[in-house]
């Protein structure tokens, strides 16, 4: 992958800023998101992924070291009126590798990123189907303020 330096690494995976990676990873992230949430506007989804920036929103890809394939994605945004809280969305692990701890790794790297690079201390998100997953990794329900779905935070 040339000289792109991962933000964080585990034994088998590396966590990259999507905008620092070659185009192939944008395609792979678009595909794994489409595999989970079909889109009527694939070009629009690509544009959203292409907008990843250090200034946020930022997208990250979790890449397997041996296959060099993207197996996970997360998008991180700022929250209005709270500089220490960040909003996570489109958290997705490729279907073929779910249940192996990758979702936990993505959230743990993201939590570390907001602490180390954004001086943050809290991630908010909303979910319906993955409530059990987030509770399993330490997230708790918080009072809904501006979201209409279930809101979790750590
Ligand atoms: C939710 C998702 C990211 C979890 O990723 P994953 O890699 O399969 O999860 P992990 O293997 O890291 O699971 C971590 C823990 O949560 C548990 N867990 C995973 N999914 C769960 C669920 N839906 N309900 C309850 N517990 C769950 C695992 O059993 C594991 O527990 P353990 O450590 O005690 O064994 C993945 O299933 C996914 O991409 N789903 C579709 C998209 C989605 O719903 N995203 C979230 C909303 S934005």
3-state class of 20 per DSSP? helix
**Mean pLDDT calculated for residue range 3-7:** 95
Going from the Cα of 61 to the center of ligand 1, the distance in angstroms, rounded, reads: 17
Q: Is the CB of 36 under 6 A from ligand 1?
A: yes
Q: pLDDT by residue (tens digit) across 32-87?
A: 999 999 999 999 999 999 999 999 999 999 999 999 999 999 999 998 878 899 99
Atom of ligand 1 nearest to the CA of 125: 48
Q: Where are the alpha helices (DSSP H) in 90-147?
A: 102-118, 131-136
152 pLDDT higher than 60 = yes
Residue 147 to residue 66: CA distance in whole angstroms: 39
Query: How far, in Å, from the CA of 125 to the mean position of ligand 1?
Result: 14
Residue ranges of domains in the chain: 8-124
Residues in the chain: 154
Determine if ligand 1 sits within 6 Å of the CB of residue 149. Answer: no
Share of the chain above pLDDT 70, in %: 92
Q: How confident is the model at residue 14 (pLDDT cuts 50, 70, 90)?
A: very high
Banded pLDDT at 145 (limits 50, 70, 90) = very low
Burial of 8 (C-beta count, 10 Å sphere; 0-12/13-18/19+): middle
The CATH architecture assigned to 8-124 reads 3-Layer(aba) Sandwich (3.40)
Q: By alpha-carbon position, which residue is closest to atom 13 of ligand 1? A: 101
Question: What pLDDT is recorded for position 133?
Answer: 98
What contacts 59, CB < 8 A, 6 or more positions away?
17, 18, 19, 29, 49, 52, 73, 74, 75, 76, 90
> Mean pLDDT of all residues in the chain?
92
pTM of the model: 0.93
Say if CB 87 and CB 79 are below 8 A apart. yes
Banded model confidence at residue 150, pLDDT cuts 50, 70, 90: very low
**Which of 34, 73, 133 is the pocket-test mutation for ligand 1 (most atoms within 8 Å of CB)?**
133
> How far does the centroid of ligand 1 lie from the alpha carbon of residue 3, in Å?
32
Residues 6+ apart with CB under 8 A from 143: 151
Nearest residue (CA) to ligand 1, atom 40: 92
Q: Which two tokens stand for residue 20?
A: 């620092």
Q: In sequence order, what are the beta bridge partners of 70? A: 63
């Amino acid at each position: 992958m040339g000289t792109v330096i991962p933000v964080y690494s585990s034994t088998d995976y590396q966590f990259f800023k999507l905008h620092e990676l070659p185009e192939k990873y944008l395609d792979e992230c678009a595909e794994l998101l489409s595999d989970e949430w079909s889109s009527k506007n694939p070009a629009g989804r690509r544009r959203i992924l292409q907008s990843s920036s250090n200034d946020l929103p930022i997208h990250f890809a979790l890449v397997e070291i041996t296959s060099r394939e993207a197996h996970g994605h997360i998008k991180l945004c700022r929250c209005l009126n709270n500089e220490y809280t960040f909003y996570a969305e489109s958290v997705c692990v490729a279907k073929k590798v779910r249940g192996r701890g990758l979702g936990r790794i993505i959230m743990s790297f993201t939590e570390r990123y907001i602490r180390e690079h954004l001086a943050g201390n809290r991630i908010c998100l909303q979910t319906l189907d993955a409530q059990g997953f987030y509770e399993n990794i330490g997230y708790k329900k918080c009072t809904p303020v501006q979201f209409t779905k279930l809101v979790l935070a750590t």
